[in-house]
Chains A and B, each alone.
Chain A
Amino acid sequence: MGQVLTIAWKDLRSELRTKESINAAAAFSMVILVLFSFVLDIAGDSREFAGGLLWLVFAFAGALVLNRSFAREQPNDCLDALVASPLPGWALFLGKAIANFALLAIVEAVALPVFGILFNANWLRFPGWIALTCALATWGMTVIGTMFSALTVNLRLRELMLPVLVYPMLIPVLMAAMKLTTSMLTGEGVTADDWVWVKLLIGFDIIFTSLSLALIDVILVS
């Protein structure tokens, strides 16, 4: 576990020094939220679709963070140095996933209050549920994004390829997160019918985390 935290610390420290992707992701999410607030009629019942809009913003902004995950290792061939070290592939993957999760959480923490103001949405009505939904869905996005960041790191068009590959894989996560968030924003809260979406998020996270940990060594060593 020490090596996992070492990698997470390294990625967070590098990113927080340059703020390359986090600034871009936060600014992008703000711009999209502001633009949508002009386009959509927030005087009407925007809460019906605001949950969907929120998760689209998180997904698009997230791609900016996730794209940099393994790309950060390219200058000076740092990935080669890590692959040649005794660091297990799973530790490298988990460390990077934890760092990406933290960065996405920061972007979400910045975007959520702005979203609440612009769309007149009371997202604090069910704080526990919104935190759980964000945590589960963000981990799902992080795992898939980190995995595909490793897969596409040597591609010339990786900035283009990552979203193309990642978004179709994220459909179950985004559907579940949108449904749950909409239930909370409309004031219904999470009902017994919504539990299937919570279970879907948990199942997705477990399956894709396990798959990624099992496959990462094959991906890293050509």
Chain B
Amino acid sequence: MLRRHMLQQMGLWALGAPVLLHSRRSAAVGETPRRVVVIFSPNGPQHTKGPTQADGSEFDFQLHPWWSPLTRHKERGVFFRGVHQAGVPFGENSEYGHRSGTVGALTATTTGSDSNQATGPSIDQFIGQQLQASGVVTPKRSLLWSLHDNASAFYEAAGQRATPVSNPYEALADIAPAFGGDSDALRAMLTRKHFALDHMATDCASLRSELDGAGREMLDFHCANIESLEASVKASLDGGLAACQMPEDSIISLPEDADWTGREARDAAMAAYTELMALAFTCDVTRVIGLSFGSGAARFSIPESYGVPSSGQVDSGDSGPQMHAWTHQSGNNPDTMLALEIFYNWFSEKVAAILDKLQNTPDVDGRPLLDTTLVLWTSEFGSGGPHTNANTPVMLFGDSEGEIVTGRQFEIIDGPREEKALPVHNLFVSMIHHMGLTDIDTFGNAGQGPLEWLYG
């Protein structure tokens, strides 16, 4: 709302779209950028051990029917079976339900209590921060979109949840200034903002010098973010890297004031975010995008037309045609399996559509975007009913320009939780290395180095 309002004030937003996106930018010189997409779905599955069928082997396996829409991208994917979610505490009965599940899934840290907060950043935010620290400055450090009002699995830092955008028009307005080098009004706005941020940075440094301990840490975070925004605004002023143009037709099929976090808008929202993702990557607005299907314990629902049956009231008090209630239903109830299959087919189809788009959109060098993009999809639980983090579904797509050997499943059947969680920590490090940040060898609270198995 705020950002659309700002563009409206400058006459740069009309009929539901920024008017400045039609400018064509010159092509870039240099290496094709690497990108990463991090997708989180709520509640976890139930009554499965992961996205593949039992009895398969590393190269010869079938996807579980719930994930079948991803079959068309199976050869570009790596599927994890039997892994334990990263970051969670490893004691019996100490998983603290949705809190630690949501906290650990992308941060690979644990609260160790019910404080409901991660003790480190999520992988997407961390990569964005580290890229910028290494001198790769894009107009947006990272983007985070959500089908709900919040995105509780995504953290900017310990204890600091990242703020998502949950309306595609707001997402469009958020990235629009990165395109607008030709507009005088926009240049003036960005120049003023850059100037203001410079003063804020001076104030922040001066206040920080008076502090130590926790107060100084608070300002370290704040000052770093002022400087980060300042660098991003400058990158917008300086112009982007790539050739990009706004599509002629609107990429968003519902009006601005639609109920964008409601169930009936889900298909339109995902279609828009998928288009925006390709636009943001080809124009090098950012190299990191997070996407949240819903927060932990989300009563996630999809349009009525998909025919999800309505659950009776379960122990948590929930009911209705929504995911959280169904994950708490007995597996002996055939409707449970039907409902969860519909939900997982829907998620899988949306992820597959993102992969289609990345495969079919040419990068600045003419190759598909997917060649340089890694897409991770995971969830808060292995099993949503009893809230366990064993057998968490983890999937990675893209081969990092041939470095990763795909079309495989990684399987751990036996072993303690620690051992089952470590590959996921290593997988996060592999994603960091994919982005060129090869001097970083750990992520979260355990593990060391990348997942060597990935590289064949």
The reply to whether chain A is a binding partner of chain B is no
Interface residues of B (CB under 8 A from A): none
